[in-house]
């Protein structure tokens, strides 16, 4: 199927909005993505015609709602090539999915003397939960360093992994755009006897994902970054691991039986899904998966790679030594998330000028402060592109940046 970005854009109503009379240039998809009509309509239709509780009531409407809710789970499983549908767990967001792994698997498996390996390019969501548990359990955290061009420095990986129980890493950096060799890293973890946990928040929305080809043990990602609604994250885990883990949150839905003396918990996936679930959001994510699948994730990746090449070249051609792009300059090794410094103008001030032209970028530390310290910056500007961005968005970014440069000529 051929990829037509204008056709894609027509699916996203917000992209046709004029703000203060000017079109929207949305370059913040690494933060959160916009939503196509297919997702909006599916959620609206479900609320108008099919909303009911799931997995607990016997009437027809509830049974149909349950089918749709579970059907969305099956779509997600197929999208990431999960071996079993019940290995896909709904969570509040990807952060909660990572916390679930740390609290449930970590509490059962980590104690003083153990080690967990993370990388210097992790999002706080894949750092802080480990630090919280480490403070209680006394295990150590080891860090995979980076090379000067923003790739993982794997030269010492086997030493770092030696004796470690888990290796948890991002499939793609939310700051540098670096795409990590996930299958290779999973294999290295397994060779050392560690489990492999993949934070795939930035990868699943942008490229084909195959958890079996990765040979990962846990994979987490969020709905809202992949054109689905907010309020929903996904944890995929190997059945054997999930079965062996204690429950995370307790309450309704996750139990098999409750007596005054105690409880027994439900089978997967309900075991990890306490309380009323984000049913409408799951329907929306199912529609998002259908939408992305129809376009084809290979096409999404190819389009973003083209935009990345164009953006890197345009920024370098127009701003030369005034701009410092963090991370790799090789579009084959990175996604369409580009962080940069522009002269000595503070990112916040740049984003303010860009905002005058409706160019939406993120300025800040991107929830990755250890990485920012490594870059020697307390903030960067980050422009992140997705399937609906066009070459003219790149031009708009460059034009607005040039205006910011003029304004802040010191």
Q: Under the rule (CB under 8 A), what is the footprint of another protein?
A: 20, 346-349, 352-353, 356, 363-365, 369, 372, 378-379, 407-408, 410
**Strands 195-199, 166-170: pairing kind:** parallel
Report the C-alpha gap between 205 and 224 in whole angstroms. Answer: 9
CB of residue 18 to another protein, shortest distance in Å: 12
Report the C-alpha gap between 175 and 202 in whole angstroms. Answer: 10
Task: List 363's β-bridge partners, or say none.
Answer: 381
Total count of residues recorded for the chain: 410
CB of residue 323 to another protein, shortest distance in Å: 18
CB of residue 92 to another protein, shortest distance in Å: 21
CB of residue 145 to another protein, shortest distance in Å: 21
Q: In the sheet where 195-199 sits, what is the strand order? A: 88-91, 233-237, 218-222, 195-199, 166-170, 115-119, 140-144
Report the C-alpha gap between 125 and 221 in whole angstroms. Answer: 11
**What backbone torsions phi and psi does residue 277 show, to the nearest 5 degrees?**
-90, 160
Question: Closer to another protein at the Cβ: 23 or 163?
Answer: 23
Other Cβ atoms within 10 Å of 16 Cβ, number? 10
CB of residue 185 to another protein, shortest distance in Å: 28
Indicate if 367 belongs to the active site. yes
CB of residue 346 to another protein, shortest distance in Å: 4
Q: Which two tokens stand for residue 89?
A: 């767990």
**What backbone torsions phi and psi does residue 299 show, to the nearest 5 degrees?**
-65, -40
Q: Which two tokens stand for residue 150?
A: 């923003």
Question: Closer to another protein at the Cβ: 45 or 373?
Answer: 373
Residues contacting residue 59 through CB under 8 Å, at least 6 positions apart: 52
Specify the DSSP element, H or E, that contains 61: helix 60-79
CB of residue 403 to another protein, shortest distance in Å: 9
Q: Which of 345, 364, 361, 362 is nearest to 403 (CA)?
A: 345
Let me know: does 69 contact 56? Beta carbons within 8 Å: no
Per DSSP, 246 falls in state P
Catalytic residue among 186, 360, 367, 398: 367
Report the C-alpha gap between 407 and 380 in whole angstroms. Answer: 18
Q: What is the largest CA-CA distance in the chain?
A: 71
Question: Closer to another protein at the Cβ: 318 or 346?
Answer: 346
State the number of CA atoms in the 13 A half-sphere of 166 facing the CB.
Answer: 29
Residues acting as catalytic residues: 367
């Amino acid at each position: 199927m051929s990829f037509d970005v204008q056709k894609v854009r027509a699916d996203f109503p917000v992209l046709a909005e004029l703000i203060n009379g000017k079109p929207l240039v949305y370059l913040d998809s690494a933060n959160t993505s916009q939503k196509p009509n297919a997702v909006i309509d599916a959620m609206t239709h479900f609320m108008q015609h099919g909303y009911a509780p799931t997995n607990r009531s016997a009437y027809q409407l509830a049974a149909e709602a349950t089918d749709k809710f579970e059907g969305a789970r099956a779509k997600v499983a197929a999208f990431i090539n999960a071996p079993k549908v019940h290995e896909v767990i709904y969570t509040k967001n990807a952060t909660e999915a990572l916390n679930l792994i740390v609290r449930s698997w970590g509490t059962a498996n980590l104690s003083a003397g153990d080690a967990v390996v993370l990388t210097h390019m992790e999002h706080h969501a894949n750092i802080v939960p480990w630090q919280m548990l480490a403070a209680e359990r006394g295990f150590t955290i080891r860090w995979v360093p980076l090379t000067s061009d923003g790739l993982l420095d794997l030269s010492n990986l086997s030493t770092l992994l030696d004796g470690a129980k888990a290796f948890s890493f991002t499939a793609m950096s939310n700051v540098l755009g670096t795409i990590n060799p996930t299958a290779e890293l999973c294999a290295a973890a397994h060779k050392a006897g560690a489990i492999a946990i993949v934070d795939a928040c930035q990868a699943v929305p942008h490229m084909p994902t195959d958890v079996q080809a990765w040979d990962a043990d846990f994979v987490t990602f969020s709905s809202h970054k992949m054109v689905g609604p907010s309020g929903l994250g996904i944890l995929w885990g190997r059945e054997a691991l999930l079965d062996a883990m204690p429950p995370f949150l307790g309450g309704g839905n996750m139990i098999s039986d409750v007596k005054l003396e105690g409880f027994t918990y439900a089978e997967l996936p309900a075991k990890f899904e306490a309380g009323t679930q984000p049913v409408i959001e799951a329907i929306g994510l199912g529609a998002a998966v259908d939408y992305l699948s129809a376009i084809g994730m290979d096409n999404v990746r190819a389009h973003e790679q083209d935009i990345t090449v164009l953006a890197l070249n345009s920024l370098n051609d127009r701003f030369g030594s005034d701009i410092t792009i963090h991370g790799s300059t090789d579009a084959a090794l990175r996604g369409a998330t580009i962080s940069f410094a522009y002269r000595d103008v503070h990112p916040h001030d740049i984003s303010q000028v860009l905002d005058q032209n409706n160019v939406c970028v993120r300025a800040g530390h991107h929830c990755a402060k250890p990485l920012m310290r490594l870059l020697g910056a307390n903030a960067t500007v980050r422009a992140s592109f997705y399937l609906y961005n066009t070459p003219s968005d790149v031009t708009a970014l460059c034009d607005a940046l040039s205006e910011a440069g003029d304004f802040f000529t010191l």
